[in-house]
Amino acid sequence: EAQVTQNPRYLITVTGKKLTVTCSQNMNHEYMSWYRQDPGLGLRQIYYSMNVEVTDKGDVPEGYKVSRKEKRNFPLILESPSPNQTSLYFCASSPSPRLAGNNEQFFGPGTRLTVL
């Protein structure tokens, strides 16, 4: 089944404890992206990747790192999480970096992160 998977789905952690949220897609998509969703603010792009070893900052990259060593995986790393990173996180992938026409983004199920 074609899908984007994220792990973990739920995580409660404490300030400063490094964590990684994994994202994997099995559709051979070139483009991958991370978003956070907060009430009243909608989805905001954290980082995106146009292809392997190519990553770029979105609108809210502070406090996050990503890597794209292989096409299928795009992990999100929080080196020192803080309470303001409590949010719902979505990973997404798309066949092409050209975001036009019918080039749909497929989203993972989301990761609900709470930082105490």
Partner 1 sequence: RKEVEQDPGPFNVPEGATVAFNCTYSNSASQSFFWYRQDCRKEPKLLMSVYSSGNEDGRFTAQLNRASQYISLLIRDSKLSDSATYLCVVNRGSSNTGKLIFGQGTTLQVKP
Q: Which positions touch partner 1 (CB under 8 A)?
A: 31, 33, 35, 37, 40-45, 48, 50, 56, 58-59, 88, 90, 97-102, 104-105, 107-110
To partner 1, the closest distance from the beta carbon of 13 in angstroms equals: 20
81: left (phi over 0), alpha (psi -120 to 50) or beta: beta
To partner 1, the closest distance from the beta carbon of 89 in angstroms equals: 11
To partner 1, the closest distance from the beta carbon of 111 in angstroms equals: 11
Tokens coding 112: 């609900």
Q: Which amino acid is at 8?
A: P
Residue with smaller CB distance to partner 1, 2 or 14: 2
Strands 111-115 and 10-13: parallel
Residue with smaller CB distance to partner 1, 69 or 100: 100
CA distances from residue 9 to 21, 85, 89 in whole angstroms, order as listed: 9, 15, 9
Q: Are 93 and 29 within 8 A, CB to CB?
A: yes
Residue with smaller CB distance to partner 1, 14 or 99: 99
